[in-house]
Chain A
């Protein structure tokens, strides 16, 4: 174990990368819960159809929600063809659109801490997947497309739980929800463009393959932090 830690920390570069990633995950914490009090206040004070407002809120939620972005980072980690990326992102987007809209309409309310803990687990799952753990441990590779879709469904429940908390007015609910969902997709695409550019540079100029394994260990640690943070919140509240 000690040898292993030494080995991980041997390269200065990977050490720096590792901590930059972890600090990034922690530093943006204040933004983690997307829609803020001010937005909540706005939503509660308004009723009727407000498409642009909800598109903006959806995009803001996604861009400032590092839990969703971390998962997507894991998903596109080894993808370099735009065609593949669009297939996976579509599977994810269709998944969370289904549960976001149906979850709000049927008021499926799952405890926000529990659903966020599962979202944290999805990051851990994807990091292990990228490390080849399932193939090595169980002798087969579980479908990555199916996993992306299923976790999309779960992330959508997280979004729905938040929308329900905001007590959106029933007046104009459906168009507003669809607008929010469109915003989520826009935010997701904007976030993905940034992630994709960074990974592409890394792939080109850095020692991508050498660092890939450690980067996913770091991603997994970030996922565990998120799981622990949410579970602690659940047991306290």
Chain B
């Protein structure tokens, strides 16, 4: 036997073993409740995860997982919609112009601003919130998918060069617990700058 307990008397007592098992469960429970569950799932009954700053990580992980699932079903629905409405949805009035849209984002709300552009055309853009950082993803989903930039900031500006013909836009998600106002200004050759419903 490889257990090194050659005689019965060398074995730890039944009570000691039981105490050790309970101790292991208690230690595991403490680690789970204070760190693992807050950090992985945002579950934080003790409030310690919040203190350690781990709950936020769990909240975001859970949110991202939900968003991914939502985005996947959304994409399937959009593909169907687009194939029906594509021909009449494409605007033709591409001209050099300026535009500005202001949106209010409630706590945890996500909204998307879209613009139509032709491949290779450029617009300059500038956006900012009235306070905290917002999660954003600038991308196109017109046939080809491409992400221009992504992150969490309270302002950003730059040049967007259309990767392909079609819709390009900014998805904004307010991950804070407070409402915020966001303003996006663009200038260049584009058509039909509006919020995507």
Contact across chains for A132 and B24 when beta carbons are under 8 A apart: no
CB of B4 within 8 A of CB of A78, answer: yes
Q: How many residues of B contact A (CB 8 A)?
A: 31
For B37, the closest partner residue in chain A by CB is A232
A135 contacts B5, CB within 8 Å?
yes
Q: Which residues of A from 108 to 162 have beta carbons under 8 Å from B?
A: 124, 127-133, 135-137, 141, 144
Instruction: In the complex, identify which listed stretch (A40-48, A61-69, A181-189, A218-226) lies at the interface while the others stay far away.
Output: A218-226
User: Could you tell me how many residues of chain A have their Cβ less than 8 Å away from some Cβ of chain B?
Assistant: 40
Contact between B41 and A233, CB atoms less than 8 A apart: yes
Report yes or no: B14 in contact with A137, Cβ–Cβ below 8 A: yes
Measured between alpha carbons, how far is A5 from B19 in the docked complex, in Å?
Answer: 9
- A22 close to B11 (CB less than 8 A): no
Q: Are A232 and B1 in contact (CB under 8 A)?
A: no
- Provide the bound-state CA to CA distance between A216 and B17, in Å: 11
Q: Are the C-beta atoms of A1 and B19 separated by less than 8 Å? A: yes
The answer to whether A221 touches B27 (Cβ under 8 A) is: yes
The SS class assigned to the B binding surface is helix
B4 to chain A, nearest CB (A): 6
- Chain A binding surface SS class: helix
Q: Are B31 and A22 in contact (CB under 8 A)?
A: yes
Judged by a CB distance under 8 angstroms, whether A170 is at the interface is no
Q: Are B17 and A133 in contact (CB under 8 A)?
A: yes
A224 touching B28 in the complex, CB below 8 Å, given contacts A132-B5, A135-B3, A144-B2: yes
By a CB distance below 8 angstroms, the chain A residues around B4 are 78, 209, 212
- CB of A94 to closest CB in B, whole Å: 19
Assembled-state Cα–Cα distance A50/B13 (Å): 54
Q: Which residue of B lies closest to A79 (CB)?
A: B2
**What chain A residues lie within 8 Å of B21 (beta carbons)?**
128, 133, 220
- Is A232's CB under 8 angstroms from B43's CB? yes
Q: Which 5 A-B pairs have the closest CB atoms?
A: A224-B28, A220-B24, A221-B24, A228-B32, A221-B27
